[in-house]
Amino acid sequence: MNALEIKNLSYRYSDGTEALKNISVSISEGERVGLIGPNGAGKSTLLLHLNGLLPEESMTSVISVFGTPVTKPHLPQIRSEVGLLFQDPDDQLFCPTVFEDVAFGPSQWGEPREALPAIVSQALTQVGLVGFEDRTPHHLSRGEKRRVCLAGVLACRSKMLVLDEPTSDLDPRGRRELLTLLRRLPLTQVIATHDLELVVELCSRVILLDKGTVVAQGSTVDLLSNEPLMLAHGLEKPHILRHAHPHISH
């Protein structure tokens, strides 16, 4: 069974903007896939479809996640399985303490109150934030905030992680820590990003979107090494692939 199956998805915003045109994509369980393309290509719009965050009229049975169609009756299940990390962690963190933020998801999905401390502690350990329970999320660094969001997703035992520009606001150390963390997590991951070096290091496959359509998909090294293709879609061949024989293991 595929983790994600999208067949002929088109989406138009209420103002008439045609953001996605006939998208078909499938992602296997455990795969890490990079979603790349210039600004306005449709990456965020596509990610929002993966757990049914766009208005209901857009939902049809063309998308399925672990075999379950993304339709209204299935949304609670889909939203527990698909952990979406927004571009701005401040949009995601809204509780007075880290504990409450990380515990929010699992308590929504019915975990008993007494189970929450152990769940939160385990999730914080996984993201390297042991002992952060009583801290105030909005006083943390950007990298720490991102890791709290990730802990929130892990606490829900999500099976697929969907990240929108996860490194755009991180310093090199924060970026490296996040990269190491993502590489260790054995979840299916879909990562929309302009950070093509990150894609090379993390993802075995990429999907290139432009103007709402999939213009290419395939092996990361093959696609990102294709300089004419990259330039034609507002991107650049990453430095890491400028050497003749890159040795990259995923």
Residue ranges in contact with ligand ADP by CB under 6 A:
13, 15, 17, 19, 37, 39-45
Three-class HEC string of the chain: CEEEEEEEEEEECCCCCEEEEEEEEEEECCCEEEEECCCCCCHHHHHHHCCCCCCHHHCCCCEEECCEECCHHHHHHHHHHEEEECCCHHHCCCCCCHHHHHHHHHHHCCCCHHHHHHHHHHHHHHCCCCCCCCCCHHHCCHHHHHHHHHHHHHHCCCCEEEEECCCCCCCHHHHHHHHHHHHHCCCEEEEECCCHHHHHHHCCEEEEEECCEEEEEEEHHHHHHCHHHHHHCCCCCCHHHCCCCCCCCC
Q: Which of residues 19 and 153 has its CB atom nearest to ligand ADP in the complex?
A: 19
Q: Which of residues 41 and 190 has its CB atom nearest to ligand ADP in the complex?
A: 41
Minimal distance, residue 195 CB to ligand ADP, in Å: 14
Minimal distance, residue 87 CB to ligand ADP, in Å: 9
User: Helix (H) and strand (E) counts for the chain?
Assistant: 9, 10
Q: Which of residues 15 and 114 has its CB atom nearest to ligand ADP in the complex?
A: 15
**DSSP characters over 217-229:** EEEHHHHHH-HHH
Minimal distance, residue 196 CB to ligand ADP, in Å: 14
Specify the 3-state DSSP secondary structure of 40: coil
Minimal distance, residue 168 CB to ligand ADP, in Å: 12
Strand partners, 34: 191, 206
Minimal distance, residue 9 CB to ligand ADP, in Å: 13
Q: Which of residues 119 and 209 has its CB atom nearest to ligand ADP in the complex?
A: 209
Q: Which of residues 37 and 52 has its CB atom nearest to ligand ADP in the complex?
A: 37
Tell me how far apart the alpha carbons of residues 94 and 88 are, in angstroms, rounded to a whole number.
12
Q: Which of residues 39 and 249 has its CB atom nearest to ligand ADP in the complex?
A: 39
Minimal distance, residue 19 CB to ligand ADP, in Å: 4
Minimal distance, residue 210 CB to ligand ADP, in Å: 9
Q: Which of residues 49 and 121 has its CB atom nearest to ligand ADP in the complex?
A: 49
